[in-house]
A and B are shown apart, each in its own frame.
Chain A
Amino acid sequence: MNLCNFHGISIWDLECRQGVYQCCMYAEDFKLLRGIVRKTGKRVRIVARIGLPFFLYKNRRRKAAAAGIVFFFALLYGMSLFVWNIGFEGNVKYTDQVLLDFVESKGYHHGMTRKSVRCEALEKEIRNAYPDITWVSVRLDGTRMIVKVKENEMASEAQQTEQENTVPRDLIAPNSGIVRSIATRQGTPLVHVGDSVEKGAVLVSGAVEIVDDYGAHLTTHLVKADADVILEYELEYEEELSRIYEERTVQNIQKRPFLQIGTAVLPVIPFWNSADGQAEQIREVTQFHLFENFYLPIYYGSIVRKEYTVSAQQYTEEEIESRARMYLANYFEKLQKLGVEIIENNVRIVVREKVCLAQGTLLVWDQRVETAPAETTAKETEPFNERN
């Protein structure tokens, strides 16, 4: 050991077992041992050879295995030259499927070569096709093409709001009814509390007449009419629900794994079909990937097959009435979200042999108004500027 140290031979994992010393050293250092062994008169025996050169020499006859390994890496390299996954990030308004359909319509699809991807051209296409998308980035990462978008709804709404602020408008009635309340902030009110109005009638005009001290008309300014108007009217409600419904009774659930390479689905253990009834299949698919962005055209997952029989059932009177009330309650909730207040509920629910009919009227107070461009028949008109 001291001679090894003196000659610069590194030794590690040195053990002493029953007077026999066992250690590890590099193969090239072993060649230097000959002189040392002869000098000390000891015997050296190689217990194991570890390392790639020894492994290759030991398996030198296994040409098929070597070819398989080479083919595997060649195939892996070949696969890395294509795009196998197109992903989208940052999209909220436009779903992945919508964007994928668009991208595919422009000639970018799964299985295309990475070299043929033109990122800048695709970014430009997306920006032109979707005005709401203000920023687009297309990049290739591994075998993934990642399209990152930024939708800017606030800017488009702000722009729209800004445009609306400058356009003179009238407020018109969305429905025929009676005016229950009107509070005008800007514009000329044309109706009073208690007046009956028809649908489309102008409630508050955007034309403001300027008169002199004697009441003579001087000019008319057009403004954006602004007021809180509550209209009372009756809404008709009608909903017919069938008492007959189809009940599915699940008879059997089978689950099988599946493997798909490219577009070829490899056969798996077949499902055994039942004689009667129908079935539905749900497939859960996961794409195989080696690292975060190295996707391959290999898909695996499971197929769940549910077999069921369908039978016609009928709701009881209580059940169907409860459903009708639930539908009515959902309708009320929808109206309230729109700003419509329900004053009276005159809807009756009638249960017949095969149907349930919910019919009647709702007395509502509606705060919504519609707008229309302001019109005037005055001689001199100009948009009102507060600075004048």
Chain B
Amino acid sequence: MFPAGEWLPGTVWIRSVGNRELYIENFQSILEYSDRIVRLQAKYDQLCIEGRQLQIRYYNREEMKICGRIHCIRFERCGRE
């Protein structure tokens, strides 16, 4: 799952299939969810996904999958490093 290379433990992993599907791993919790925005708390950042008709296909401790029309994926610093 995790490609080889240097990475910090706790880094959030994102895989996308076009702008329709998004697989996210290594996140901590959901801060905000609506059909236009999904905000996730990772260890060091906050991940903000904006789009339309966003749905969470599945959601468990390991991974979550977001479907819909994804417009942008944004990382916001939250001061944890």
Contact = CB atoms under 8 A, between A and B. Distances in A.
B35 to A, nearest CB: 5
Chain A at the B interface: SS class: strand
Nearest to A1: B30
Interface string B19-54: 000000000011001110000000000000000001
Contacts of A5: 29-30, 59-61
Contacts of B59: 1, 5, 10-12, 14
B57 interface: yes
Interface stretch (A15-23, A207-215, A288-296, A380-388): A15-23
Contacts of B55: 13-16
A51 interface: no
Given A11-B59, A15-B55, A2 B34 contact: no
Interface residues of B, number: 13
Interface residues of A, number: 14
A146 B43 CA distance: 67
Contacts, number: 42
A17 B35 CA distance: 7
Contacts of B57: 12-14
A53 interface: no
B34 A10 contact: no
A11 B61 CA distance: 10
A8 interface: yes
Contacts of B30: 1-2, 5
Interface centre among B29, B30, B34, B59 (most CB of A within 10 A): B59
Interface string A246-269: 000000000000000000000000
A16 B66 CA distance: 12
B58 interface: yes
B35 A11 contact: no
Contact of B56 (A2, A14, A17): A14
Contacts of A11: 56, 58-60
Contacts of B29: 2, 5
Interface of B: 29-30, 33-35, 54-61
18 contacts: A1-B30, A2-B29, A5-B29, A5-B60, A8-B61, A10-B60, A11-B59, A11-B60, A12-B56, A12-B57, A12-B59, A14-B33, A14-B55, A14-B59, A16-B33, A16-B34, A16-B35, A23-B56
